[in-house]
Structure 1
Amino acid sequence: MPRKTYARHKGSDKREREIIEAGLACFAEHGYANTTLEDIRLRSGASNGSIYHYFASKEGLAAAIYVEAIADYQKRILDAIERNPQARAGVRAIVRAHLDWVEENPDWARYLMEMRHAPFMATAESAIAEHNREFINAFVTWLNPHLKSGEIRRMGPDIFISLLLGPCQEFVRNWLGGCTQTKLSAAKEELASAAWLVVRGPATAEN
């Protein structure tokens, strides 16, 4: 059986997850180029056999870390809209979930921003595409009724996500770089309120 080159969030077992987390920690501390699989093995406490059972190479593990981050982030967003199905509550919950995830997982957030176009990502493109398809399908299932009702003004899902999370992404980039004066916890409500003002439709213009 061929060794996996990336992890699947739903199927990651305890040892696989430990190796992924150790890899992320090593890359965050020492950089991708300066980290070896032996560093990751020692950090995770795994045997050589365990490392190579899950990952064929450092590149495969690096891609797995990215895929795992995408899956974890998307699950947080979908959980937020499942708990907040209404338009206004859902929009605000998405923004908060985005910022909460970054605050709780700064190394993963940096990794997503910095490694998207790294050469090793070629091995993960199909997994990322699959996660994105599932995410967009679930997201659109929540969004479409609010577009039809006029609670959210009509636009494509890609425009909606850009308007909703574009300002958050810019704030996060500066926050991760230590360039913000406002604490992330304080920014959540401001950005959530602003997002709703931007996307609300005619049926909720007074809210």
Structure 2
Amino acid sequence: MSPKQHRGEVTSDLLLDAALRVFVTSGEQGLTVNAVVRESGVSLGSLYHHFGSLDGLIGALSHRWLDRLLGELTGALQGADGARAGVAGAVRAYLAFVQEHPGPALLLHSPLADRKGMARGREFRDAQEARVSEVARWIQLGIDAGELAPLPAPLIESLLMGPVVAVARRSLSGIDDVDLDEAARLLPDRIWRSVGA
């Protein structure tokens, strides 16, 4: 990597990290170009050079953390011995991500992310195609092996992740009535009842 490329990568990282800090401390309303520039110490021109707009910066930040979350999920699925263990591993991996990375988890579960996802869902899915394909392959292998219910893969994915996402959102919203460790213990069996063959 050339020195110029390295500087560009460092600048991008500074902007992404600053955007996350601003979002966590000030919310969506506080996430402005000026706030990110002030927090990062990077010039306004650099933000536009690297990301094109605030929307581009937010998209890159979301992709960065979504890729990491999906990487942990696919690792849990693929490292498991059988579909039932994969379900348990995915639930634990997702909830552990929320506990270990509350700021990024808050961003990924925010109304901002929902709006972006609804408006640009296909683009976001395409950007994560490798990870999404790994999950789809794991589901198909489970169906073919007779371990997972013979349902369309998107339905199995929804049955698997829907309850986990709901619990994560509840926890991240500040409602203090969900224990994520308890959820990680209880949800796998309940979810397995809906997706197991």
> In terms of mean alpha carbon deviation, does 156-165 or 57-66 score higher?
57-66
Distance in 2 between the 1:80 and 1:26 partners? 31
Question: In the alignment, which residue of structure 1 is the partner of 2:98?
Answer: 102
- Give the TM-score taking structure 2 as reference length: 0.81
Distance 1:184 1:41 in 2: 35
The one-character-per-residue Cα deviations of 1:39-70 (angstroms, maximum 9, x if unpaired) are 22332243445333312222221222222222
* Corresponding position of 2:177: 181
1:115 corresponding residue in structure 2: 112
Match of 1:25 in 2: 21
Kindly state the Cα deviation for residue 27 of structure 1 after the two structures are TM-superposed.
1.7
Q: Does the aligned pair in 2 maintain the 1:73–1:101 contact within 8 Å?
A: yes
What are the residue-to-residue correspondences of 1:1-207 with 2, within 5 Å?
A: 13-113=9-109, 114-118=111-115, 127-201=123-197
State the percentage of identical aligned residues.
26
Counterpart CA distance in 1 for 2:139 and 2:121 is 26
Rate the CA distance shift 1:83–1:17 in 2: closer, same or farther, 3 A.
farther
Tell me, yes or no, if the aligned pair for 1:85 and 1:142 is still in contact at 8 Å.
no
Q: Distance in 2 between matches of 1:106 and 1:117?
A: 17
Which protein, 1 or 2, shows the higher relative CO under an 8 Å CA cutoff with sep ≥ 6?
A: 1
1:128–1:120: structure 2 CA closer, same or farther, 3 Å change rule? closer
Gaps of 5+ in 1: 1-11, 202-207
Look up the SS of the partner of 1:33 in the other structure.
helix
Letter in 2 for 1:149: A
| Pair 1:135–1:119, CA change in 2 (3 A) | closer
* 1:31 positional shift: 2.5
Contact 2:125 2:132 in 1 (8 A): no
- Asked if structure 2 preserves the Cα contact closer than 8 Å seen for 1:71 and 1:131, the reply is no
Write the letter of the residue equivalent to 1:115.
L
CA shift, 1:21, in A, is: 1.8
Counterpart of 2:55, as a letter, is: E
Question: Which range moved further: 185-194 or 174-183?
Answer: 174-183
Structure number with the higher helix fraction is 2
Alpha-carbon separation, structure 2, partners of 1:152 and 1:182: 28
CA distance in structure 2 between the aligned counterparts of 1:145 and 1:103, rounded to whole angstroms: 30
Q: How far is the alpha carbon of 1:125 from its aligned partner? A: 5.3
Deviation at 1:111, TM superposition (A): 2.0
**Structure 2: how far apart are the matches of 1:183 and 1:120?**
27
Instruction: Look up the equivalent residue of 2:112 and give its one-letter code.
Output: M
Paired with 1:84 and 1:14, the residues of 2 have a C-alpha distance of 36
8 Å contact from structure 2 (residues 139, 156) kept in 1? no
Pick closer, same or farther for the CA change 1:145–1:62 going to 2, 3 Å.
closer
Contact 2:28 2:112 in 1 (8 A): no
* Cα RMSD after superposing both structures: 2.6
